[in-house]
Every structure is written in C-alpha cells, then in structure tokens.
Amino acid sequence: MNSTTATQQPAFEVLPRDLSAYRRGNVGIDYVHRFESGKPGPHVLVNALTHGNELCGMVAATHLLDSGVRPRIGTLTVSFANVAAYETFDPAQPFESRLLVHNLNRIWSPEWLDGPEDSPELRRARELRPVLAQADHLLDIHSTSQDVEPFWVYPGFARNGEVALAIGRPRVHLVMPDGLGSGTPLIQYGHFAGADGRGAAMVVECGQHFRRASSDLATRVAYAFLAHFGLIEPEADATPVGPARRFELLQTYVIKTPEFRFSRPCVGFEVFAKGELIATDGSDEIRAPCDDCTILMPARAAIVGREGVYLSRPLAE
C-alpha cells in the first residue's frame, strides 16, 4: 500500500496443489465430504479456503482426507469453500486470489444470501448454506498476509472461549463482543450467531499465508478441534503453550479513500496510546480510542470498501 505497511514479496514455502480429486464429495455439493460414525455425537465442520489464497486450510483439509480420518462418534464434514478463487492463484500476484468478486467471509446474512446480487462467492455461499445449518460446531481455517503471531477470532460467547482455551494454541484470542462490524462472517451464520445459539464457531488465523509453519499449525488445530468434541482421540502433546492473551475488538475500520495510510509501519499487534494517530484516510483521522490500543490485520493495500484495520484492547485475565 505504502511505505508504512510491509509489502515485500513473500517467500513461498507452500504453494497450491491440484484439488480436482476432491471435487466430487458425497453430499451432492462439490468439495464437501462427510463421514458419519453411526454413533451419537456432534457434527463438526472443518472448513478451508474461505479465502482462496489462505493455503494452510487447504493443507489441513487435504491432510484429514488423505489420512483417512474418520469420526469415532458423531459426524465429520470437511469442506473447501472458495476453490474458484483458489484456482486463480498467481505467484506474481499472490494476494489477488483471496476472492473473485465478494469476500466470502462477509456475506453470510439474509440481506446478501437472499438478495438479488450474483457472484461466484454468493453462489457458493448459497450452495453451502445447508452444510453450515447441519453442523453443530465449526472451525474455519484462515491465515494472514503478514507474518504475525497466530490467533483465534470468535464472537464473545462463553461456548467459543471455552473451546479456544481448552485447545490452547494459538494462545492469542480476538474476541468480538458485537460481531465483526464490516459484514457477516461464516462463524456468525444461522444458529452460530446468537448468545443463546448452539455450538462453537471460530476462526483460527494460523500465520502468514505461504509459510509451512502456518500449515502445520492449521493441521494441529484441526485435529485438536476434532479431539475436543470427541470425534478422534487427542494427540499427546507435552509442548507448553503459555497463558492466553485476549483482546476485545473495538472497531473494524473500512477504507473510504485510496489515500488511506498508516502513520507508521504496521504488520499487526502494534500498540497505540489513547488519541495517538493510527492512520489517515483522506481528510479523516483514525486515532486510538483507548490506551494500549492494539491493531490487527492492517491492510496491505488501500482498497476502498475493504477493511483497513481492526482496533482492539487487551482484556484482563
């Protein structure tokens, strides 16, 4: 975007692979695979490629399928969401395959899904609605453009926080008390949305898109998520994780002009004092609303209508 945001070309430790072998699922919807144990238990959905260039989810999902993971109780569904965007990946422009027309992780509201507009993402979301509706718990696997510490993102319901704390890694949590504020993500669809709803629904941001460590973490978290709900045996892991660090989302700022700029170099987790200038957007100033204001997901490019930055504050433990 500018000199105040890291924009260097990433190193590619992981690249896309051909997913055509996974196209024919077993529920009548492309790239959706379901396995039933025949025993009572929860229905857990592991979803990958909500954004087409977030490769760690692809690695985790194909690992589950290639390894023949089957639930000992309940039902496991593995899905690849935006394969159409994924298939446009170009190493010369590796961030462009995030989406084709619409952000598939912002359109899970009746206004979009039942509205008159059309796009590859809207068609895919409409296809996937029954898949989401049938799942009791959802893990949506994502990654970040910058090489920052991995973190959870979830609506601020106890049922989500309990799962994230039980799994342990990543140890950073971004809690959304009032939703995302810039559209409706997958984890706020249907019965996952309300405080009185059922089931855990969470995003895991596993690290930079093209790093092997991000794919390794995505796979470990997917297995741990399934184990938490009893679908598979837990893996033995003696690695200490450390205490959780939790942040509350205060605002999601959406870019208004092509002149959006940060006040200093930002990759994520920078801290600003109350009133300190974070960014400018034309004549508008984005200032920290509180002390220790921590920013996440700073935009790489000034694209009008897309998110510029998340403003958060640390939560006391």
Report the distance separating Cα 105 and Cα 252, nearest Å.
14
**What burial class does residue 28 get, using C-beta atoms within 10 Å of its C-beta: 0-12 exposed, 13-18 middle, 19+ buried?**
exposed
Three-state SS sequence of the chain: CCCCECCCCCCCCCCCCCCHHHCCCCCCCCCEEEEECCCCCCEEEEEECCCCCCHHHHHHHHHHHHCCCCCCCCEEEEEECCHHHHCCCCCCCCCHHHCCCCCCCCECCHHHHCCCCCCHHHHHHHHHHHHHHHCCEEEEEEEECCCCCCEEEEECCHHHHHHHHHHCCCCEEEEEECECCCCECHHHCHHHCCCCCCCCEEEEEEEECCCHHHHHHHHHHHHHHHHHCCCCCCCCCCCCCCCCEEEEEEEEEECCCCCCEECCCECCCCEECCCCEEEEECCEEEECCCCCEEEECCCCCCCCCCEEEEEEEECCC
pLDDT score of 297: 96
Q: Tokens 């004092």 label which residue? A: 273
Q: Compute mean pLDDT per 10 residues along the chain, 317 residues long, and list them.
A: 55 96 97 98 98 98 98 98 98 96 97 97 98 98 97 97 96 95 96 92 98 98 98 78 93 97 97 98 97 96 95 91
- Token couple for 116: 């008159």
- Token couple for 41: 């238990």
Domains defined for the chain, CATH in brackets: 20-228 (3.40.630.10), 249-314 (2.40.50.630)
Whether the Cβ atoms of residue 308 and residue 299 lie closer than 8 Å to each other: yes
Whether the Cβ atoms of residue 51 and residue 94 lie closer than 8 Å to each other: no
Q: Which residues does residue 33 pair with via DSSP β-bridges, in sequence order?
A: 78
pLDDT score of 317: 66
pLDDT score of 7: 53
Whether the Cβ atoms of residue 229 and residue 199 lie closer than 8 Å to each other: no
pLDDT score of 93: 94
pLDDT score of 242: 82
